[in-house]
Structure 1
Amino acid sequence: MELIKIEQLLEKYFDGETSITEENELRTYFSSSDVAQHLEHYKPLFGYFSTAKEQQFEQQIPLDTKKLKIAWISIAASVVVLLGAGTFAYFNYHQPQQNQDLGTYDNPEIAFRETQKALELLSSNVNVGVESVQYIHEYEATRDKVFIVD
């Protein structure tokens, strides 16, 4: 009777349907000395689990010192950047301010003439843009003639 139960448990095990207690029953059965002849070839499979529990990892793990070096290099680089920025700010703060002439005029006649020059320059640049738009209108009219557009 027990042999039939073990065979059923093996079928369930290979189908992935066993519970933990059923798997423990299989392990205890295959670790005993009275295993059926036709099930002997499963004994190493279930014997592996009991020997794998007893194994321990004994190899030394080397410490990775590269990360420590990279950390110190990044700290040193940030200190250098901060010192450079501080030095730049220190020397530029103590320089006398440049003449900040913003184009203001005390004489209204000179201001009027300068304003006229600026507006003439603006007008000439706007006219160039308007001329290029006229070329586009000519192109569209010609295109409409060649390709009849509804």
Structure 2
Amino acid sequence: MVLNNIEKLLEKYENGETSLKEEQVLKHYFTKDNVAPHLEHYKPMFAYFLGNQQEQFTKDLPLKTKRTFNYKWLSVAAVAVIMLGVYFTPITDTNTCKENVVGTFCEPEEAFNEVSKQLAMISNHFNKGTSTVNYLNEVNKGTATLNYLNEIENSTGIIFKTNEY
């Protein structure tokens, strides 16, 4: 009678229709030593469930989630600010000349003279820099001479190799 009841409970258990009390009866039956031989293969499963029920989780769980800053939205906001700045900048008349603004010239001749002066200064500094690098030409001449020595060495190597045969 008990074995018949256990088999019915196992069938309900496999179909997922058992209650917690019925599962407890099954766990209790399979932890005993006198289990029917044809039901022995269920014993490790219920022993595992019973042992697993004794385990406890001891680690602390953080309740606050870490917030990550999304840099994509920062770039979108930066583009929006730039676009608004471009849109709302006042349009100035380019024909009017302001004497007090630094780096601007009202007369084209003044601008040309200033540009010429700046280019002359850049040219002067560039020429000083190239004069300090002229010694590299002497190094190139020395390497050309060494190439002649390599040709002589190659020809003597060919001569000595043919003599060995």
Give yes or no for TM over 0.5.
no
What is the TM-score when the length of structure 2 is the normalising length? 0.41
Q: Whose RCO is larger (CA < 8 A, sep 6+)?
A: 1
What is the TM-score when the length of structure 1 is the normalising length? 0.44
